[in-house]
Amino acid sequence: MIVADSSVPLPADWRDLFALTKPRVMSLVVFTALCGLLAARSGIDPVLGFTAILCIALGAGASGALNQWYEADLDAKMKRTAGRPLPSGRVDRQTALHFGVGLAVFSVLMLGLATNWLAAGILAFSIFFYAVVYTVWLKPNTPQNIVIGGAAGAFPPLLGWAAASGSVSTLPALLFAIIFLWTPPHFWALALFVKTDYAAAGIPMLPVTAGARATRQQILLYSFVLAAAAVAPWALGLTGAIYGLAAVALNAVFVALAVRVWRNQATEPQGMKPEKRLFAFSILYLFILFGALVADRLVLS
């Protein structure tokens, strides 16, 4: 009989390593980076553009792997995350750390060499911000964790823009602001219906520390400010009507869903249909808004 020696790391399956990169969440990160790159209208060489997006995807994946390396014990405590490769034992911690650090270094260097060092610097900062500032420092210590930490996820359009043009300007800064303001309603809507999980893991998410009422008010507040930021590129003449109309329509729906959340009194996940709807719509919202931006910029160019 062969007895497995638990001190010898198992060779990780590529599917588990892929899962360490949080591919579903990162798909939107990569999409917004691609939109930033295309919106820069720099006429970047397609091979270079593809390389840049690949580097951003690898860097974002690296930060997801480092986040899971650090949070393996915490993920084991939550039903939603207990099946991830580390808590379920399909990947050992050392492999995850090597994979995350290796991918981070490779993606930053390759982006710098292929495009420019401004973009590479922003990528390095985003990885550091998510893996260290958010994961290690903010998440376990403050209910404002995702407000400040959300900045990490807001960098991709700036990254795409910088990779294509070597600079940043008002429009990419507004794209950063849009994702930054979008993150709290996106996440708090979800945190309301998985609240018990975070409480069990001792994470001070707003619904746990301030309660559902205060969280719902914050969601509504952020959705108003988000609407203003999302319409701003059009109002300032930086985009055309395709983007403008999409922004107005999408934000009307977003605010309407946030109002339903604000009105909802439910305390149990079964009664949280408005929160589930807002969370699902938040993802569609960014895909369409950024898609409209590219359509608008391509039509105008």
Q: Which residues bind ligand HEM (CB under 6 A)?
A: 24-25, 27-29, 32, 146, 149-150, 153, 179, 183, 186-187, 190, 283, 286
**Using CB under 6 A, which of 52, 72, 127, 219 touches ligand FPP?**
127
**Taking the CA of residue 223 as centre, how many other CA atoms within 13 Å lie in the half-sphere pointing to its CB?**
30
**CA-to-CA distance for 141 and 144, rounded, in angstroms?**
9
60 binds ligand FPP (CB under 6 A): yes
If the CB atoms of residues 250 and 286 are measured against ligand HEM, the closer one turns out to be 286
126 binds ligand FPP (CB under 6 A): yes
Binding characters for ligand FPP, 70-109, by CB under 6 A (x = yes) = -x---------x----------------------------
Using CB distances below 5 to 8 A depending on partner kind, what does residue 63 bind out of ligand FPP, ligand HEM, none? ligand FPP
184 binds ligand FPP (CB under 6 A): no
If the CB atoms of residues 109 and 221 are measured against ligand HEM, the closer one turns out to be 221
Q: Which residue is nearest to ligand HEM (CB)?
A: 153
Using CB distances below 5 to 8 A depending on partner kind, what does residue 126 bind out of ligand HEM, ligand FPP, none? ligand FPP
156 binds ligand FPP (CB under 6 A): yes
Looking only at Cα atoms, what is the longest distance across the chain?
73
139 binds ligand FPP (CB under 6 A): yes
Using CB distances below 5 to 8 A depending on partner kind, what does residue 179 bind out of ligand HEM, ligand FPP, none? ligand HEM
If the CB atoms of residues 146 and 247 are measured against ligand FPP, the closer one turns out to be 146
**CA-to-CA distance for 241 and 223, rounded, in angstroms?**
22
157 binds ligand FPP (CB under 6 A): no
155 binds ligand FPP (CB under 6 A): yes
If the CB atoms of residues 129 and 234 are measured against ligand HEM, the closer one turns out to be 129
153 binds ligand FPP (CB under 6 A): yes
Count of other CB atoms within 10 angstroms of residue 134: 21
Chain residues that interact with ligand FPP, rule: CB under 6 A:
22, 25, 29, 59-60, 63, 67, 71, 81, 123, 126-127, 130, 139, 152-153, 155-156
